[in-house]
Structure 1
Amino acid sequence: MTLIPTISTFSPVTSAPITPDPQAIDAPDGSADLKISHPAIRDFPSGERPRERLQSYGAGHLSNSELLAILLRTGLEGENVLVMASRLLAEFGGLSGLSRITFDEMCDFRGISSAKACQILAGIELGRRVASLTPEDRVTITSPSDFATLFRAEMSSLDREHLRFATLSTRNQVLGIEDLYSGSVNAALIRPAEVFATAVRRNAPQIAIVHNHPSGDPTPSNEDVAITKTLVEAGKLLDIEVVDHLVIGQGKYVSMREKKLGFS
């Protein structure tokens, strides 16, 4: 007897018939596009979430998508806020294109409510105004008191140690402020390359460092002196002066340069 081969309608890998994905969405042309579900931001490791990354490394270390995701706050079902932010940037041609669209155009984008549109456009406008500041508009640091005024109101009430620094122009005008570390600030954590990278990028000839003591007592510790000495020496190699290191306590502060602690 001759066997006649037959063509199977089953998958060559399994014995089950191939069926469409129940999550598929019919496209206008009759084809089906698979719906891709992205993990929620809350399911990311803490070190990969935009807000936590900003707190740990400063806003300057975040991508455009991460910064935009923080403004958007939430995504859509099956599409986390980072994916939405990337889609928004791609749709309008990056930050440059995003800065030119209107409120109505923003609201027409899938997933963008009027509240989200307001948040994004407000953030863009703030950035535009900062960029348009003239040198005369910038804060100028002429003394430890000026430096303390810039940070004391916020940092004296923090319940954890934060290390920040300001990049300064040759005229002691503040070019920017970076939040470098939070938690326990010690010499082992401080990497001079991270501190000075922003100064190099901004072509800043000077920086001023500040951190707080949650205990309320601004007396510098031996660890604070060691940190200061390390950064001062690293700055000399890069020709970037560390003009001061301020320790802020409850209503009080100590200028380590005035006390000659870590400064030779």
Structure 2
Amino acid sequence: MAAFYSGSLILWYKANSGKLKEPVSDMGVNNKDLKAILREKYAREGYDALTSEERVQLALSYTERPKAAEEAARRLMEEYGGLTAAADSDPYFLMKGCGLSEMSAVLLGLLRETGRLPEDRFPRLTDTALAGAYFISLLGKLPKEQIVIAAADSRLKIKRTAVLAAGTDSGIRFSCRRAAEFALQSDAYCVFVSHNHPAGDTMPSGEDKAATLTLVKAMLLLDVPVADHIIVSSGNYTSMREMLPEIFKGVPDCGYKVKGSAER
């Protein structure tokens, strides 16, 4: 594995030991090699192991020639500081100001639209404010209802997320079995559930309350507590654990802090 830095060095790691070896000059490293190095690091260590510049380089290595990818990544970092800000920019400015090809500008736009670019995709959700902000970023602007489940470790750091169900602008249904399968496959310490209300009111409906109670009870049988169910709109959220603690009676807090008002 390798960590790639701006400049002319690649720090090479042996895949079977992970120990640092002598730095190797990147002269002669072609685009395929660079992609393989960064792709292997991503696959082995995860998104958080990549630096902001490595994320940019990996994305652009699929659409730019080696030298062009390196130069474009450097200019993007100088101008925008990372993928998120760059993807929010107008494609014309990306091409004109940073020298990206049209293909690269389109790629960044697509990544933005699919919501895959938060600089910290897997934060620690240690309290209701952090959980609310995280799920607003995932679901707040969606035009239709969607419910997601997020698996967390013992430090309440999100490990992975999945869409449980997608509905219309006025309703949604999901399976407790699917939630249970996801939690077990993810080796979750606990899970968070969230869905959006496109109309803007984040107060839980009667169906929301009933479905949450059913899910909470089902997950307790698996010894995987539901830490919270967060309902979001484009700018607000409601923590059901904060508003309706009776639904979570008997559920360990998992170190999750309920604080502040129920709706922001």
Larger Rg: 1
**TM-score, length-normalised on structure 1?**
0.49
